[in-house]
Structure 1
Amino acid sequence: MDIKPIKTDTDYRAALKEVETLMMAEPNTPEGEKLDVLVTLIEAYERKHIPLDFPDPVEAIKFEMEQKGLTIKDLEPMIGKSNRVYEVLNRKRSLTLKMIWKLHQELGIPAESLIKQPVQAHNA
């Protein structure tokens, strides 16, 4: 088994290609064990070099609306009257802590997304 640490992007790409060839490997075989080790190395490299970034609050809400077929009316119990929902979705109003809590509880939107600095604030 010729496995080495993943230190560069080239190493990373090579490891991904190797994993591709091992995807059908049976567990508890030399190939299956090599696959396990490579996947562990790849995951460690990705955690360090390719951080997962959460979407901004408005994008997270719009994504959930699209995925679940929700309307403005469906968001009213979590955000407030329809004009307030529109203000939030159009980035005219920030989410309050109460709105964040309700959106997280009711729709399962990660709190990390809901508390993230909105996109427009970066340009201000």
Structure 2
Amino acid sequence: MNIRPLHTEADYRHALATVATLVDIDPAQGTPEGDELEILSILVERYETEHFSMAAPDPIEAIKFRMEQQGLSVPDMQPYIGNANRVYEVLAGKRALSLAMIRRLHAGLHIPAEVLIGGC
């Protein structure tokens, strides 16, 4: 096992290939292969965090995504946002989310509050 920090894109790609091979083998924890997989996974995750950071999703897109995931329609959103007109306004970006809406969406649909707050 020759593991070193990932400094370049080539290091990253090589580590990914090794991780893929090890995942296919599915080594037991505590074995040399299992340790190698665990260490490389940590290094790959760190490299991705540093080089491929993702912006937080748009709050309205997060709501639409959750609606699609759960097969929800505008009437289903009324307990969280308000009457149908208000739901349409929020989904169209014409009305901002209120703190009460954020709380209800977070509690009822489990959309992370930090995502919902991002648009305020």
* Aligned positions of 1:17-96 closer than 5 A: 17-23=17-23, 24=25, 25-96=27-98
One-letter amino acid of the counterpart of residue 51, structure 1: S
Aligned to 2:10: 10
Q: Aligned match of 1:113 in 101, 109, 115?
A: 115
Q: How many residue pairs were aligned?
A: 118
Q: Please give the per-residue CA displacement for 1:8-62, whole angstroms capped at 9, x wherever unaligned.
A: 2221111101111111223222111111110111122222222243210111011
SS in 2 for 1:64: helix
In the alignment, structure 1 segments of 5+ residues that lack a partner are 119-124
Q: Distance in 2 between matches of 1:81 and 1:117?
A: 21
Q: Distance in 2 between matches of 1:51 and 1:110?
A: 18
- What's the TM-score, normalizing by structure 2? 0.90
- What's the TM-score, normalizing by structure 1? 0.87
Q: Distance in 2 between matches of 1:44 and 1:66?
A: 31
Aligned to 1:121: none
SS in 2 for 1:91: coil
One-letter amino acid of the counterpart of residue 3, structure 1: I
Q: Distance in 1 between matches of 2:82 and 2:92?
A: 15
Q: Distance in 1 between matches of 2:54 and 2:84?
A: 32
Q: Please give the per-residue CA displacement for 1:90-111, whole angstroms capped at 9, x wherever unaligned.
A: 1111111111111011000011
Q: Please give the per-residue CA displacement for 1:73-101, whole angstroms capped at 9, x wherever unaligned.
A: 11111111100000000111111111111
Cα RMSD (Å) of the superposition?
A: 1.4
Aligned to 1:122: none
